[in-house]
Amino acid sequence: MKIKKMVFLVTVFSVVSMVSISCAKQCNCIRYEDGNKIAVITDESVKYFELSVCEAQSVEAHQGTSWVVDGKEVTVEIKCK
């Protein structure tokens, strides 16, 4: 009877471990210039379990240099999810 319980516990632990590992998501950050989507930035080597950590990388709208037109000042915003 103890062996059955032990096998059951090991199985449950294995399944829970596999599910928790597979729940990690990549963080996609979208760069907007003057309200237009310019690029999606993804760090493929990092995966997040907690969505708030990813969202904390967002940057509110501010004046910055355009990636599209050299030297042009635009409103830049980065939203991560």
CB distance 2 to 35 below 8 Å = no
CB 2 within 8 Å of CB 43:
no
The domain limits of the chain are 25-80
Q: Is the pLDDT of residue 62 over 70?
A: yes
Q: How confident is the model at residue 5 (pLDDT cuts 50, 70, 90)?
A: confident
- The gap between the terminal CA atoms of the chain, to the nearest Å, is 48
Percent of the chain exceeding pLDDT 90 equals 67
What is the sign, positive or negative, of the torsion defined by CA atoms of 12, 15, 18, 23? Answer: negative
Q: In this predicted structure, what is the pLDDT of residue 52?
A: 95
- Tokens representing 16 are 């829970």
What is the reported pLDDT for 66? 97
Structure tokens at 25: 């998501």
pLDDT of residue 11: 77
Q: What's the whole-model pTM score?
A: 0.69
What pLDDT is attached to residue 21?
58
